[in-house]
């Protein structure tokens, strides 16, 4: 174990409005990191996991959103967890490693012995204390959380090869065209402060190359494949290509494999799947957040369901599995909800059915209507999404569709995007 004097800082990369385009129409209303999964903002899950790190001194959120968009949340979560949380706005893109380096002076204010780096759009159990313990055992500059996936899906991520005995990272390649390994990078890391030296070295090498180009035309003869790297700003440093790949096999980086769940939250469909994964995790970590009911005095609850205390659910409704109901929602008599996220101020009237769908803020679903999808989380229309203030009138069926905000549907639709 580390000494009690050692302090740890966590940095969570939250991206920005230009990064969340695949999350539309939901990100039209709210920054993607604040979209609720299992009743809690997306970023809440990694933040609450950080709370379990021994000797945690500070949590920083780094991104491109306006500070005012995070001010209220940062204040409330700091008070709730009794841990200082601070939002840091990047002035321009610096890359995944450059963004960390850009705020190095602030991050090092507490003289941390270790720095966690997490991506906000990752859904997992975040075994951070276990990672830290493993990292201290390995030595080296950093430890990467990894998971085994199917060979077919591995190429969508950063693939890596590790020594089976020592867990040293031997080879790393980002989204390779040919199969390298079924172990992938989960986007969760713990580093020593030496990471800042490694990032500075990359930046310095870029500056040296830039100076060399000014006095030499030799690079004009270089292949076009290296032109991308040459055109990158000197302070733009990518963690995967610029740090992980070059340092693999140099006894600097190690891996910690999780046997638990892991997903990347790029689309609304994946947010619904991840909401279910977090609800299932609540059984073990936060059972008090899960609703219960047998239909006698309260609604019938099936498996993992979150209901906000201010929501009103009729006793004859049947809810679950994998349902999250947000603040001030009203669920009418005989309604049936399965695998869905119901956002603030939604009204679902009597005998309506919602399956594999996300119902946006202030929307209403009429009597005997159905809003549903097949539940293919990776397909473009695999989950039905209603944007803010969408009205589905009585006895209307909406299947496998995306509806942008402020629309009224008085006829049934199937496999449509309604602009």
Residue 294 contacts residue 320 (beta carbons within 8 Å): no
Averages of pLDDT over runs of 10 residues in the chain (419 residues) are: 73 81 84 95 96 95 92 94 93 86 92 96 96 95 93 81 92 79 92 93 75 54 47 79 88 94 92 96 93 85 96 96 98 98 98 98 98 93 96 98 96 95
Q: Report pLDDT for 4.
A: 52
Q: Report pLDDT for 56.
A: 95
What lies within 8 Å, CB to CB, of 187 at 6+ separation is 118, 119, 121, 122, 145, 264
Q: Report pLDDT for 225.
A: 45
Token representation of residue 363: 């929307």
Phi, psi of 23 (to 5 degrees): -95, 0
Of 273, 298, 319, residue with least CA distance to 121: 273
């Amino acid at each position: 174990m580390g000494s009690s004097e050692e302090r740890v800082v966590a940095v969570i990369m939250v991206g920005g409005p230009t990064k969340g385009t695949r999350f539309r129409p939901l990100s039209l209303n709210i920054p993607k990191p604040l979209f609720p999964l299992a009743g809690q903002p997306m970023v809440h899950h990694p933040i609450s996991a950080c709370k379990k790190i021994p000797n945690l001194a500070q949590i920083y959120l780094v991104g491109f959103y306006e500070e005012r968009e995070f001010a209220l949340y940062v204040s409330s979560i700091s008070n709730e967890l009794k841990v200082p949380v601070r939002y840091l706005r990047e002035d321009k893109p610096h890359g995944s490693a450059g963004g960390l380096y850009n705020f190095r002076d602030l991050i090092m204010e507490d003289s941390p012995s270790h720095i966690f780096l997490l991506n906000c759009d990752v859904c997992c159990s975040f075994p951070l204390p276990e990672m830290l313990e493993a990292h201290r055992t390995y030595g080296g500059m950093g430890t990467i959380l990894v998971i085994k996936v199917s060979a077919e899906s591995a190429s969508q991520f950063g693939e890596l090869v590790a020594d089976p005995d020592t867990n040293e990272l031997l080879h790393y390649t980002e989204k390779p065209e040919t199969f390298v390994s079924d172990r992938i990078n989960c986007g969760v890391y713990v580093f020593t402060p030496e990471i800042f030296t490694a990032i500075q070295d990359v930046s310095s090498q870029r500056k040296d190359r830039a100076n060399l180009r000014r006095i030499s035309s030799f690079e004009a003869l270089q292949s076009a494949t290296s032109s991308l790297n040459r055109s990158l700003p000197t302070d733009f440093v990518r963690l995967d290509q610029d740090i992980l790949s070059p340092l693999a096999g140099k006894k600097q980086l190690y891996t910690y494999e999780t046997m638990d769940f892991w997903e990347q939250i790029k689309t609304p469909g994946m947010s619904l799947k991840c909401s279910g994964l977090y609800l299932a995790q609540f059984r073990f970590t936060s059972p008090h957040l899960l609703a219960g009911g047998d239909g006698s005095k309260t609604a019938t609850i099936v498996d993992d369901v979150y209901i906000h205390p201010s929501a009103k659910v009729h006793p004859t409704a049947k809810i679950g599995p994998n349902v999250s109901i947000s603040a001030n929602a009203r669920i009418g008599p005989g309604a049936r909800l399965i695998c869905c996220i119901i956002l603030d101020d939604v009204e679902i009237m009597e005998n309506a059915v919602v399956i594999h769908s996300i119902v946006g803020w202030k929307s209403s679903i009429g009597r005997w209507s159905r809003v549903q999808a097949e539940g293919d989380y990776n397909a473009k229309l695999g989950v039905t999404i209603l944007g803010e203030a969408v009205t589905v009138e009585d006895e209307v069926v909406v299947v496998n569709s995306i509806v942008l905000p402020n629309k009224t549907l008085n006829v049934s639709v199937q496999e449509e995007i309604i602009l």
